[in-house]
A and B are shown apart, each in its own frame.
Chain A
Amino acid sequence: NAGVTQTPKFQVLKTGQSMTLQCAQDMNHNSMYWYRQDPGMGLRLIYYSASEGTTDKGEVPNGYNVSRLNKREFSLRLESAAPSQTSVYFCASSPGRLGLQEVFFGSGTQLSVL
């Protein structure tokens, strides 16, 4: 039982390049999330998926797209990376049911955009 697994752990991009961050969970959770964490700040929600087949914007969705490929996988895509997207990205999941709301996090992807 690996929990939430995200890849890659580190990535350096040039401005304008694109990339996809991958995330998978093996806990049969309904809900999945992508957060970004900037130095000295808390986590900000980029997008979330309440269930397979649905996605919704969070606090800071601009510049990102997501795909809920199936129940296990939720990917985050940067179509044209910008230096402002330099951050640590965390994927997370939760059962997504009232009363079962604990959110489990992956270990993070450190992204630098030059």
Chain B
Amino acid sequence: GENVGLHLPTLSVQEGDNSIINCAYSNSASDYFIWYKQESGKGPQFIIDIRSNMDKRQGQRVTVLLNKTVKHLSLQIAATQPGDSAVYFCAENMAGNFNKFYFGSGTKLNVKP
């Protein structure tokens, strides 16, 4: 599959701090990206998405940044809460085949109270 990988496999943050989870992708033809959250024993849940014609998108407490020059994606979580503890995946989708997503290996976020 495509090389969608994460820099940090495990991230520990203090409750209330901001978290930044990174993702690198290798295919410059990818034009759509999603961040997923996966809690233990559950399926991945959609958090936020971004298209390649944007470099930033904000949701509730989350922001996704896309740097197409270096093929890098990041997820920022503001005021991290214990409920944010989970594994986070980025997924990329290439233009012309919107049915196929490639997932990174995931980053585990531990939020310390």
A interface with B by C-beta (< 8 Å): 4, 31, 33, 35, 40-45, 48, 50, 56, 58-59, 90, 92, 94, 96-98, 101-108
> A104-B46, A107-B43 in contact; A42/B99 too (CB < 8 A)?
no
11 residue pairs bridging A and B, Cβ less than 8 Å apart = A42-B104, A48-B100, A50-B99, A59-B102, A92-B43, A98-B98, A101-B34, A102-B34, A103-B46, A106-B43, A107-B43
Is the beta-carbon distance between B44 and A97 smaller than 8 angstroms? no
> A58-B100, A102-B46, A105-B43 in contact; A45/B34 too (CB < 8 A)?
no
Taken residue by residue from 28 to 63, chain B's Cβ proximity to chain A (1 for < 8 Å, 0 otherwise) reads as 000010100000011111100100000000000000
Chain A residue contacts of B89, Cβ below 8 A: 42-43
B interface with A by C-beta (< 8 Å): 1, 4, 9, 32, 34, 41-46, 49, 89, 91, 93, 98-106
Chain A residue contacts of B49, Cβ below 8 A: 101-102
Q: What are the nearest 6 A-B pairs in CB distance?
A: A105-B43, A42-B103, A59-B1, A43-B103, A42-B105, A50-B99
